[in-house]
Amino acid sequence: MRLLLTGGCGFIGSAVVRHLIRTTAHSVVNVDKMTYAASEDALAGAGRDPRHTLLRADIADGAAMRQIFAAQQPDAVMHLAAESHVDRSIDGPGPFIQTNIVGTYVLLEAARDYAATLTPERRAAFRFHHVSTDEVFGALAPGDAPFTETTPYDPRSPYSASKAASDHLVRAWHHTYGLPSIVSNTTNNYGPWQFPEKLIPLVLLNALEGRPLPVYGDGSNQRDWIYVEDHAAALLEVLRHGTPGATYAIGARQPRSNLEVVHAICAALDARLPDPAGPRSRLISFVTDRPGHDFRYEIDPSRTEAALHWRAPHDFTTGLARTIDWYLDNRAWWEAIRAARYAGQRLGRAAA
């Protein structure tokens, strides 16, 4: 297949590109606006593969999207481009509305126009896979059953509201116009190449540098964690075997409180690089909770596992160990980002 993938220089998108180039014969047209969180470095060797093409473009630019579809003639779309940082959405929701809602609408229209030009055989095989988040479902209380594909939407932040809107648009274009679309919702991703403002790399890198480890509230907020390479593999299975109009909840059954995550990072780092000043847990600092902080997210991936014959191979302990080792081995990448872009307060904020 020839895949048009949006946001392929972002954290999850780059993992998908690497996975596709490493494990398949597909070619990838990578459309990325190259905002602050995008990194060509994250493509690694896949970025130099002749089956990968990087096009710098904004998904909200209708003329550019129509031109790309016409020139590249993709067999499927994997739509990952999004503004995704909750704290940033609280500080300034405008870019989230523009990219996540308007951008998805523009891309859907370009895909719909393009699909109408295909032969009946190619049109029947064409797919539009929209990648979303579990945050659209709102918050779980202690004891609540995890989210499933049928959980009602209840977004609480500008970020999750914008993603919920984009999910609804994708489903509407399927039911109204017959665009063969699929939606997948996943939980918190972590792993190599994650931008240093997200919780796990932020805590890890602050701990390495002896900085405070900020934890919102009392740290009891819970998230379900999936290793990003596992998620990338699952997304390809959704694209290959998913049913148009269906939703797939992708998770790894690895819930942890934020405080548990921070302590796990400290312990793993202490075991690798002991700090003469003492255990790094001494650096934990509880800070004022952010507005509208959802208490708990957790996904039940049972239906997706059964439908796709897939299950995440990494548990949190194994995935975290691989993640920490990667950041220790790739200091040049994150040190440059922290030095150039995040000398101020934003790096001191936990992001979960």
Active site residues: 134-135, 159
Q: Name the packing angle between helices 104-115 and 158-177 (round to 10°).
A: 20
> How many Cα atoms within 13 Å fall on the side-chain side of residue 319?
23
> How is residue 347 annotated by DSSP?
G
At residue 126, what is the residue type? F
In angstroms, what is the C-alpha Rg of the chain? 20
Indicate the SS3 state at residue 8.
coil
At residue 60, what is the residue type? A
- Bridge partners (DSSP) of residue 2 are 27
Write out the E strands in 7-60.
27-32, 52-56
Quick check: 136 and 160 in contact, CB under 8 A?
Answer: yes
Q: Is 196 exposed, middle or buried (0-12, 13-18, 19+ CB in 10 A)?
A: buried
